[in-house]
Amino acid sequence: MYRLVHILFRCTMWYRHMQKKSEGTESDLLQRCVRAYISEGTLDLSLDEMSSRVGVSKRMLVHYFGSRDSLERAAIRALEGSLRHQFAPSSLPAGLTPLQLVDVLWERSTAEETRSVLLLVMDVTRRAWNGTGAAREFYAEQQRLWTELLCKTIPDRNAVEDLLQLFQGAILGYLVTNDSRVGAKTLRGFVKNWNDHHSSRKEKTRRLP
């Protein structure tokens, strides 16, 4: 009886070890797949192409992720988590003015090392516009997080929504021209105009009897 219990215990421990190993392997493989997507700037990679880029068999990809669609969904979730961390309020300097905040966000978004990430984000956004479920969720979450972030410094939701649309257009322009100066000037102009209008309204309110 003791021997049987001992064998069962060892089998249980072996199973837990292999499960943890499998989970670690899957997480590592997913990160390699995300890096491959980023390198290409698109999700349009077949499992055969992904297999070649990450150095594992197509069968292994199917084993861990089931299908190309499932792998794409997992990669989108991983990308979302990475962007949430990069643009979290806690990652930004404290006490930024609206103009300083937009400058920091623009500089981070157009840094040379993030260009491939931007291309991938735009590819996911394109899929969201075309109705892909996971991509729509990604787009909606990004909109929510950026709106929440900007509203902490720009207490005008309509202005924030306009700014986001302008920001996305500026990103497209940057990706086409590889020149971030035009977008920076456009965004700074919008924020300065809002700032002047906001200050004027505050001054008028202060003067009211």
- 66 backbone dihedrals φ, ψ, rounded to 5°: 90, -50
Q: How confident is the model at residue 21 (pLDDT cuts 50, 70, 90)?
A: very low
pLDDT per position as a tens digit, 114-159 = 889 889 998 998 888 887 788 888 889 899 999 999 999 999 999 9
pTM of the predicted protein model: 0.76
The span from the CA of 195 to the CA of 189, in Å, is 10
The pLDDT assigned to 202 comes to: 64
Phi, psi of 118 (to 5 degrees): -60, -45
Indicate if the pLDDT at residue 75 is higher than 70.
Answer: yes
SS3 67: coil
Instruction: Give the whole-angstrom CA distance, residue 191 versus residue 184.
Output: 11
H-helix or E-strand containing 152?
none
More confident residue, 204 or 35: 35
The full set of domain ranges for the chain reads 1-79, 87-203
Contact 180/110 with Cβ under 8 angstroms?
yes
Cα–Cα distance measured from residue 157 to residue 147, given in angstroms and rounded to the nearest whole number: 8
